Amino acid sequence: MTRNELIQVLRNGENSGVAFQRDSVEDHQLARELVAFANLEGGCVFLGVEDDGAVSGLARPDPEEWVMTACRDKIRPELTPYFEVVREVAPGRDVAVVRVSRGWNVHHLWHANHRTYYVRVGSQSREASQEELARLFQQRGAFRLEVRPVSGSSMTDLDLRRLGDYFTRLREQEAPGVSDEPAWRALLLNIEMLAEEGPALPATVAALLLFGKDPNRFLPQAGMDAVAYPGTEKDYAARERAELRGPLLPLVGGGGLVESGLVEQALAFVRRNTEVTAWLENGRRLERWTYPEEVVREAVVNALVHRDYLLSGTAIEMSIYDDRLEVCSPGRLPNGVTPERMRTGCRVARNPLLKDVMRDYRYLEHMGMGVPRKIIKGMRVHNGTEPDLVEDGESFLVRLWKAGGAPAA
């Protein structure tokens, strides 16, 4: 970093990636800032700078050794930062630049025999909340919410009819009898649908989402809120509002569908609230949806499978307007995924167990190509429109356009 570049940074002040510290700061205070940066997107601490950006300079005889020792002794897992000194930033005063990248792990400060996790929020480094910490571990791949036990639940909260159908019809293996509880417990423990925690053997998050009798009893964020509006904007006077609740998976019997899962409920809502053109061809009734069924299904399934279930305050939202259909999933995209990477078939999954089971039901592409093959190509072929994939703060949106509602692909 040049002297002029540093001066410009100091003029702009502290932000999500920049912190100022006096050279007299204690080692654990420096470590706190670096931990917060590593747990976000990386950043720089400028040593020898006051809070207002004024340069007070370095006074330590060997600032580099002091910084490296602080990172080794006060940070777990330890960090090795980039270090440089910019000379004569002010007359006779130098500034040290200490830079860390986004960590592969979740880092914490180790001080006074106590572990503390910090996150960067704007220009402040503060202790992470329990929800923020869980999300950090999930993002770094060290935590899988879907296989965590759900307190108060047990095998009795799972629908053995759906589970029996899954094992016999989809996996083509023998399932225990309905009354054979020991065999069911052993089987469900092996596939991470029950957790080996205490005598109750609670159900996991994935089990309740996929096969729960009443998932929302334990997971209020599960499900989908669907609204059909009469125009192109949100309106209190909706044509229909529905809270779609229940397990993700359907119950299928010998005669076909017995009970719908969330996917079928969502498709039925779209069918009720969009135009379906029907005609006869060679004695057969053919139909054309405003939006292709397989495209809508892919958007709905992606939202259900890949949403961030740590965000407990909101359900997935599906909104139908005169010119478009939107499916909004809570949570940022996981593990470095971007809308651009999704368009090319990026294969990262936040909830791999949910993904695998839904794939068994053939709701998902085996190679993770549902977005480019089904959503994008499907809309281009259907009406020549280009779907929007938008990451907006703490949510991800898929927008499908009606013919004439958006520029052609």
Kindly give the confidence (pLDDT) of every residue in the chain, 409 residues in length, as a single tens digit, with 9 standing for 90 and above. 999 999 999 999 999 999 999 999 999 999 999 999 999 989 999 999 999 999 999 999 999 999 999 999 999 999 999 999 999 999 999 999 999 998 888 999 999 989 999 999 999 999 999 888 888 887 776 567 898 899 899 999 999 999 999 999 999 999 998 889 999 999 999 999 999 887 889 999 999 999 999 999 999 999 999 999 999 999 898 999 999 999 999 999 888 899 999 999 999 999 999 988 888 888 888 888 899 999 999 999 999 998 988 887 789 999 999 999 999 999 888 766 888 888 888 767 788 899 999 999 999 865 667 899 999 999 999 999 999 999 987 899 999 999 877 655 5
Structure tokens at 24: 């007299």
**DSSP H/E element including 89:** strand 82-90
> Omega before 77 cis (within 30°)?
yes
Strand-pairing partners, residue 369, are: none
Angle between helix axes 352-360 and 293-306 (nearest 10 degrees) is 150
Structure tokens at 313: 């305050």
pLDDT for 396 equals 93
Contact 40, 119 (CB under 8 A): yes
The angle subtended at Cα 365 by Cα 143 and Cα 138, nearest 5°, is 10
Considering the chain, tell me which residue range(s) the CATH 3.30.950.30 domain(s) occupy: 3-141
pLDDT for 406 equals 67
Closest by CA position to 249, among listed 296, 215, 204: 215
For every residue of 18-59, DSSP letters joined together read EEEE-TT--HHHHHHHHHHHHTTTEEEEEETB-TTS-B----
Helix (H, G, I), strand (E, B) or coil at 358: helix
Pick the CATH number of 3-141 from 3.30.950.30, 3.10.20.340, 3.40.50.880, 1.10.3720.10: 3.30.950.30
Instruction: State how far the Cα of 6 lies from the Cα of 55, in Å rounded to an integer.
Output: 11
Contact 122, 84 (CB under 8 A): no
Strand-pairing partners, residue 43, are: 100
User: Residue type for 275, please?
Assistant: E
What pTM, to 2 d.p., does this model score? 0.70
pLDDT for 178 equals 85
User: Residue type for 337, please?
Assistant: V
Considering the segment(s) 224-401 as one domain, its CATH architecture is: 2-Layer Sandwich (3.30)
Structure tokens at 299: 């958007």
Neighbours of 69 (CB within 10 A): 12
Instruction: State how far the Cα of 355 lies from the Cα of 360, in Å rounded to an integer.
Output: 9
Structure tokens at 341: 């990477």
Angle between helix axes 262-273 and 293-306 (nearest 10 degrees) is 140
Beta strand spans in 254-387 (E): 256-259, 276-281, 284-289, 316-320, 324-330
Considering the chain, tell me which residue range(s) the CATH 3.30.565.60 domain(s) occupy: 224-401
Half-sphere exposure of 202 (CA within 13 A, CB side): 14
User: Residue type for 77, please?
Assistant: P
